[in-house]
Structure 1
Amino acid sequence: MRCQPQSTHQVYIWLKNTQPCLLCDEMTDTSFPICTGCEADLPWLGDHCERCALPMPMAGLTCGQCLRRSPAFSEVVVPWRYDFPVDALVTRFKHSGKWPLGRLLAQLLGQSLQQHFEDGLQRPDYLLPVPLARKRLRQRGYNQSEMLARWLAEQLALPMDPRLLLRVLETPAQQGLDAKGRQRNLRKAFALAEGAQVVGKHFALVDDVLTTGATANALAQLLKKAGARRVDVYCLARTPKPGD
């Protein structure tokens, strides 16, 4: 597969019309640092649940979990399955500080969102990055969700507020927990900033990967209880149901 990420040529000029592809190192034929072939090879989501974007065998279906308990968020917009090479790109951006890879994914997500807006998706009033616990922020040095939200805000001309949502409780990492474990893990983990203006507004949460949706649902519940009109979720990738 030509999409194997390379370790070199991580610095590039975004304003150039042609530049090396960050995945195969060939010269691109687009304004983004990815060639047409590598972009086509990405694991595009395809048919999915109309509420949580879980990969589904055909279009127009709602998954069993959303039928049993409707999530607090209205819609998830996500371009890819969490599969190679997107999983490797997200991991290197999130844990190894490879910011050019994150910005490339954000640019492609922004392109996808722009198409959704043109097709009738409501534009949100604000983008809200999923907050990171202070301890994890100190360890990592940055919040990857806030970086994604800033890039999207610039590309889509939307306001972004990184301080409206707070993570007030340190919780163990979500990786390795099942859906119920993630929900328990997030109880009382989030709060709104003092004086947050929420009533009647449409927000879009921005994150890197949607797994069970527990984090997005907890934040959406918090916003809806405070009077938010609508909450959507924008993320880079969606994991399949375990075992699929």
Structure 2
Amino acid sequence: MKKLALLETSYRWLRQAGDAAARLVFPPQCAVCDAYLEGALSFCARCDYAIFPLKEPRCSVCGETREVSPGAYASEDALCPQCVEARPKFERARAYWEYYGSVADAIQRAKYGQRLWIVRNLAAELGPWFRAEIASITDACGRSAIAELAPALLITYVPMHPGDLRARGFNFGNLLLRACLKSAGIKPEIRRLVIKTRRTRSQAGLGHLDRRINLRGAFEVDPRVDVRGRAVLLFDDVLTTGATANEVAKTLRQAGASRVFVLSAARALKY
């Protein structure tokens, strides 16, 4: 046990030393404009002005922000019209940023521009929020601590079709999820629970109904996993209409998952 503890201490020390050396050779840069940064920042001061964290009031299920007229009252637990009409298959969805401005630029640069070092910048900002959201899920599942929840909670990400994964070379959501958990100081196992069995056209430019039709029947639960009676945390890098998260959640629920919670880095808002 002492040798193991010594090895772990040595590994942490070497990793910290390696990170410090890397910062000297490769100074941290802004995730949007590549300007060199000082300290532990992820965005330069200019790009930081175009970052918009999401605020209340929000739909208690899908997390869509709700416009409130001056003097009007909106309770914190109110549902948006879309969730009233068709309740999603997930328990709750939450995102940290609005998908706009610097955040949208940073995610697109990392996801489509192969600048994967930006993942660390995003995760550094998302880490504390991520930990707080998992603590909220802990409460919702009737657990007293995150460590107690870990064995009962399955953590996964929205899968890509194998053909799309080969073309891109990586699943951005998977990478960002792992980095966020590391930044939050949480070390649960991440598993691929769902497989995308049908290649679909891009969701970009499609309306909510067309997105749902496009994804219908495109996912299956991996036959090697058992989700029956388990709570699941599903991560999607960006929520637009929530159609993808809803279809994956529906697949998990049909396989026996008890509850599905959705977390996302950013959400595209309706204007």
Shorter-chain TM range is 0.7 to 0.9
2 CA distance for matches of 1:15 and 1:225? Answer: 47
Q: 1:15 to 1:165 in 2, by over 3 A?
A: farther
Q: Match for residue 50 of structure 1?
A: 60
Aligned equivalent of 1:147, options 158, 170, 175:
175
- Structure 1 residue 190: Cα displacement: 0.2
Percent identity for Structure 1 against Structure 2: 30
> 1:108 deviation in Å?
2.0
Residue number in structure 1 paired with 2:83: 66
* Displacement of 1:172: 0.7
1:21 Cα deviation after fit: 4.5
1:168 aligned residue: 197
Counterpart check, 1:108 vs 2:98:
no
Counterpart secondary structure, 1:104:
helix
Q: 1:194 is matched by which residue type in structure 2? A: P
Cα distance in 2, alignment partners of residues 39 and 159 from structure 1: 33
The whole-number CA distance in structure 1 between the counterparts of 2:253 and 2:167 is 31
Preserved contact between residue 153 and residue 160 of structure 1 (Cα < 8 Å): no
For 1:1-244, list aligned pairs within 5 A. 14=19, 20-22=28-30, 23=32, 25=35, 27-30=37-40, 32-34=41-43, 39=48, 41-47=50-56, 48-58=58-68, 60=76, 61-118=78-135, 120-122=136-138, 125-155=153-183, 156-162=186-192, 164-241=193-270, 244=271
Q: Which residue of 2 aligns with 1:10?
A: none
Asked whether the 8 Å contact 2:91–2:261 carries over to 1, the reply is: yes
Q: Deviations over 1:163-192 (max 9, x none)?
A: x21000011111111111011111110001
| TM-score for the superposition, normalised by structure 2 | 0.75
Quote how far apart the aligned CAs of 1:57 are: 2.1
Q: More displaced, 33-42 or 134-143?
A: 33-42
**TM value normalised by structure 1:** 0.83
State the alpha-carbon separation in 2 of the partners of residues 210 and 14 from structure 1: 32
Shift of 1:89: 0.7
Deviations 1:47-96 (A, max 9, x none): 22221121222562421101111111111121101110111111111111
Unaligned 5+ segments in structure 2 are: 1-17, 69-73, 139-145
Deviation at 1:199, TM superposition (A): 1.2
TM-superposed deviation, 1:114: 1.3
User: What SS is found at the alignment partner of 1:217?
Assistant: helix
**Whole-angstrom distance in 1 between the partners of 2:82 and 2:157:** 25
Higher helix content, 1 or 2: 2
Structure-2 change in CA distance of 1:157 and 1:36 (3 Å): farther
CA distance 1:109–1:159, shift in 2 (3 Å):
same
* Distance in 1 of aligned mates of 2:44 and 2:155: 29
Residue segments in structure 1 that go unaligned for 5+ positions in a row: 1-12
Contact 1:77 1:113 in 2 (8 A): no
Shift of 1:101: 1.4
**What code does the residue aligned with 2:252 have?**
L
Moved more, 212-221 or 96-105: 96-105
The alpha-carbon distance between structure 1 residues 110 and 77, as it changes in their structure 2 partners (threshold 3 A), is: farther
